[in-house]
A and B are shown apart, each in its own frame.
Chain A
Amino acid sequence: MKKIAIIGAGPAGIEAASILASHDCEVQLFEKSADTLSNITDKAFLFPDFSSAQELANKLNSQLLNDKIKVILNTEIVDIKKDNDDFKIIDRDGKTYVADKVLITTGYNVFDAHRKEELGYGIYKGVITSLDMERMIRHKQITNSIGEEPEKVVFLQCVGSRDEKSGNHYCSKVCCVTAVKQAIEVRKQLPKAQIYVFYMDLRMWGQGFEELYREAQEKYDIRFVRGRISEASATFDSRVQIKSEDTLIGQPLKMTTDLLVLMVGMEPSKGTRTLAENCGIAGPYKFIASEGPHTNDNNTATEGIFVAGTAKRPMSIRDTLTDATAAALEMLK
């Protein structure tokens, strides 16, 4: 019976664990925090079908009810060492675990919006991130900085993605459609609000995304402005003033809004960066590099160490689950 270690109990880790367990592998699933699926349970609804994030989390968690899966919470893995035919998996306290093969599913963190100080996150209360917005939507409490119902909500795309100043040249892939999804949610809860989305490009790549974008404009009266926001400042009544340019008509513009929502991109999580570095499998931006762009996308440069999900690059949940399935099958070979 194969002994498998999976690092990170997100959607990829859980999906791969359940497949491997059903193929008679003994799985140890490590999670650094006290709970699984924290990057799903902080969402309210999922694109493109507005299904409940909590339901998906429950479904995935139920797959863990298997004798062959041992979930080890509150354990941060910092290094993986090859030891003859085995791997030694070492946690922060120096405790080691043994496995035949390892799957890294350490995932992403969102970009720290404090780093784009010009947008005023952490300085002006009216500036929030897409995660804060997700929480507001879930609790049905969308409020401005003084606790009132906002008259205007502005979403800004590409915060920490496609941004050479912050060092992230890549596209985080999911923020475009997430903003459309959130804008529609806001419209459902605030029928009278003015809602704007500032973007560079809208990359509606997935099935149903383009339709959602069209619906947002036609049915939900959400206005899309092509332009980045250069700076935010506070007004005397604690609202947020933004400076931008509508690049389709070539006009600079100033706008005052109650809420400025920063669509923060994906960065490799701390666990991803640590393992990428310590195992010598770091790729661009300290994500973990897979072997090939077309084939062997779940293999790493070290034989026996596999990778799946957003530890490799930004992905949607659907792509992450597919990738985890592929990784599990690869490991069974």
Chain B
Amino acid sequence: METSNPYFSPFVLPFVLGAIFLLGICVWKFVRWFKHFDRLQRAIIRKNLLSWKIIPALWEMFREGILHVRIWRKNLMLGYMHSSIALGWFMLILVGFIESHMTPASSHPFWMAIFYRFFITTHQTFPGAQVLTFIMELMLIYVLSGILLAVVKKIYSRILGMKKTTKHILIDRFAKAFLWLIFPLRLLSEVLAASRFQNGGFFTGFLGDLIPPSNEYFLLLSWTLYSCALCGFFVTLPFSRYMHIFSELLLIYFRKMGVREKSERTGYTMYELNACSRCGMCIDNCPLNKELGHNDVQSVYFLRNLRQKKSPIRVADDCLMCQRCASDCPVNIDLMAIRQQERNKHEMDTADNYGYLDTVQPFNAIGRVGYFGGCMSHLTPGVPEAMKAIFEAAGQKYWYMDEDRTMCCGRPLLQQGFNRQAADLRRKLTEMINKSKITMLITSCPICYQSFKKEYKLRIPVIHHTEYIAMLLKTGRIKVRKDDVRTVYHDPCELGRGCGIYKEPREVLKATTHLVKAKQEKEDSLCCGINLGDTLLDIDQQTLIRNAAFQNLMYKHPDQIATACPMCKKAFAHASEFPVKDIAEIVRENLK
């Protein structure tokens, strides 16, 4: 029966076998990873599996997996390139499937859509046939234009706005070669078919008319090569970066269900690792690449190392944790969490004595708000002094938690893998805060802020002092005058990309001074370099990163730098001839 099937030719076998192989491997991998979800993650999936959340999940899967909206927003050319291959191919499969099933035929094997023009040699007359043919031709041109752009990018990436592209490993190169061959071969096959059977559309038909009718030998050879290219791509796909095609879709689905990274690697992390397409958009803006030429530590390489089960510890540690790559990542992979997971494996220990924690007495706070300066604010006493003046001007009673005995929030320890010590500190501070009966915690240090917000489980709101000041201004509890000093605002990584606070600092600065723009700001701001994320850098390297960030601020020739992080303040103080101030200090100077 099979042999008499008019829609079979031996050349479909590579495709069919490849597709079966791909399906098998993917299902096996996805099931295995899913088994490694932890209990909480699985409970979340079970709860939300068939809830309304599936609608936004499907929408985002289409938007990001097929259309690639985030890449479009970053860079039009890259957006076109990525979406042409994804959307174009998706449409070829979808419309091809519809076309083959609408064609009156004795059977509709699933490969019929792929090799349609070989098996269906006459123009079809079913309703809409011409429209479908037209779409198929258009989509083929669309994909081919994307492939052309990819080739241009390979030769000269700057045309597409990328200074550096990913250095790929062998399997990725093979997979890419197959991918690039598929569509030119499809075009060739369809043109040869058109020249022989006159069944081409506006594009393949036109090209087919330009050449003499092909003989059967060439025709078969071309279609066989097309099938083999597909097979080659399918077989290499699960082991190459193209695994992102399916992993990303599932990742988006799980993320929309509410699944998040844990402090150690789970099956969910495997989906994230495989969802990285190694597009290399994280490379250009990484300060370590730009300023220091460390070109093997960026997230794309870090994730690839993990996927290949070889992770030099240096790569996990050589990172500022400034999150710039995370804001550039079109897949929104939780890059910082994954790097943190690797650092957590250090299980660092120290002979340092944390015994003093027990001697710190919980305190019955007088005020209703608590103020936590943090270790770094103790190195910039101007900041807590300004906050004291602002509390006073607002008539707010407050409890300055760490005025006398400084305690670390634990985040810098955590970032280096001192998990136990960080947990000790968190436990102690939580106890102090709970006993104090404060109703709100205000911090001056964005590192502490992110820590209290994300790593603690406090029952009270935590806000950064810029948010607090913005609130005081809005409610009229303090009044300020506006000076005309040209001020540029530096977004601290931990406050901006870390916690999404961009609006309030700018509101406060607009009310008190003349705010000018930096070259790159908000999500695109640059790390000040003198940070605690990367302990492998020496001071000279940090200074290079700092200088780049400083130059970025000098874009509109300001007369003053404002920031909202004591570390950033200290970093720029040594670079700048003119004042570097915290927002709180500027507000204090302008209090009416």
Residues of chain A at the chain B interface (Cβ within 8 Å): 114-115, 117-118, 120, 122-124, 164-167, 230-234
CA distance A115 to B574 in the complex (A): 6
CA distance A127 to B379 in the complex (A): 15
Contacts of A118 in B (CB 8 A): 378-381, 570
Contacts of B403 in A (CB 8 A): 233
CA distance A123 to B403 in the complex (A): 16
Q: A164-B539, A165-B539, A167-B543 are in contact. Are A115 and B381 (CB under 8 A)?
A: no
A231 with B385: CB separation less than 8 A: no
- What per-residue 1/0 map shows which CB atoms of B337-381 lie under 8 Å from chain A? 000000000000000000000000000000000000000001111
Task: Determine if B184 is an interface residue (Cβ-Cβ < 8 Å).
Answer: no
CA distance A117 to B383 in the complex (A): 10
**A231: which of B378, B569, B573 is its contact (CB, 8 Å)?**
B378
Contacts of B543 in A (CB 8 A): 167
B574 with A231: CB separation less than 8 A: no
Beta-carbon nearest neighbor of A254 in chain B = B404
Contacts of B385 in A (CB 8 A): 123
- What per-residue 1/0 map shows which CB atoms of B380-392 lie under 8 Å from chain A? 1110010000000
**B574: which of A124, A167, A232, A233 is its contact (CB, 8 Å)?**
A167
CA distance A224 to B208 in the complex (A): 95
A166 with B574: CB separation less than 8 A: yes
Q: A123-B385, A165-B539 are in contact. Are A115 and B573 (CB under 8 A)?
A: yes
A120 with B573: CB separation less than 8 A: no
Taking the closest CB of chain B, its distance from the CB of A132, in whole angstroms, is 18
CA distance A114 to B579 in the complex (A): 10
A233 with B382: CB separation less than 8 A: no
Interface size band for B: 10 to 19
A120 with B574: CB separation less than 8 A: no
Taking the closest CB of chain A, its distance from the CB of B477, in whole angstroms, is 25
CA distance A123 to B584 in the complex (A): 14
**A117: which of B530, B539, B573 is its contact (CB, 8 Å)?**
B573
Give me the 3 closest cross-chain CB pairs, A-B, nearest first. A118-B379, A164-B539, A117-B380
Taking the closest CB of chain A, its distance from the CB of B442, in whole angstroms, is 19
CA distance A117 to B572 in the complex (A): 12
B539 with A120: CB separation less than 8 A: no
Taking the closest CB of chain B, its distance from the CB of A274, in whole angstroms, is 12
Contacts of A164 in B (CB 8 A): 539
Beta-carbon nearest neighbor of B378 in chain A = A231
CA distance A222 to B562 in the complex (A): 42
A117 with B382: CB separation less than 8 A: yes
- What per-residue 1/0 map shows which CB atoms of B397-426 lie under 8 Å from chain A? 000000100000000000000000000000
Taking the closest CB of chain B, its distance from the CB of A236, in whole angstroms, is 10
Beta-carbon nearest neighbor of A122 in chain B = B382
A123 with B574: CB separation less than 8 A: no
Taking the closest CB of chain A, its distance from the CB of B380, in whole angstroms, is 5
Q: Quick one: which of B516-535 are within 8 Å of A by CB?
A: 530
CA distance A124 to B569 in the complex (A): 18
Taking the closest CB of chain A, its distance from the CB of B70, in whole angstroms, is 39
8 intermolecular pairs with C-beta atoms under 8 Å apart: A117-B379, A117-B569, A117-B570, A118-B379, A124-B381, A165-B539, A165-B570, A233-B403
B573 with A123: CB separation less than 8 A: no
CA distance A233 to B382 in the complex (A): 10
Beta-carbon nearest neighbor of A235 in chain B = B404
A117 with B574: CB separation less than 8 A: no
CA distance A301 to B382 in the complex (A): 44
CA distance A234 to B569 in the complex (A): 21
Contacts of B574 in A (CB 8 A): 115, 165-167
CA distance A233 to B384 in the complex (A): 11
- What per-residue 1/0 map shows which CB atoms of B548-574 lie under 8 Å from chain A? 000000000000000000000110011
Beta-carbon nearest neighbor of A167 in chain B = B574
Beta-carbon nearest neighbor of B546 in chain A = A167
Taking the closest CB of chain B, its distance from the CB of A163, in whole angstroms, is 10
B539 with A233: CB separation less than 8 A: no
Taking the closest CB of chain B, its distance from the CB of A55, in whole angstroms, is 36
Contacts of A233 in B (CB 8 A): 378, 381, 403
CA distance A115 to B543 in the complex (A): 15
Taking the closest CB of chain B, its distance from the CB of A138, in whole angstroms, is 29
Taking the closest CB of chain B, its distance from the CB of A17, in whole angstroms, is 31
Beta-carbon nearest neighbor of B376 in chain A = A118
CA distance A123 to B570 in the complex (A): 15
CA distance A230 to B376 in the complex (A): 11
Beta-carbon nearest neighbor of B570 in chain A = A117
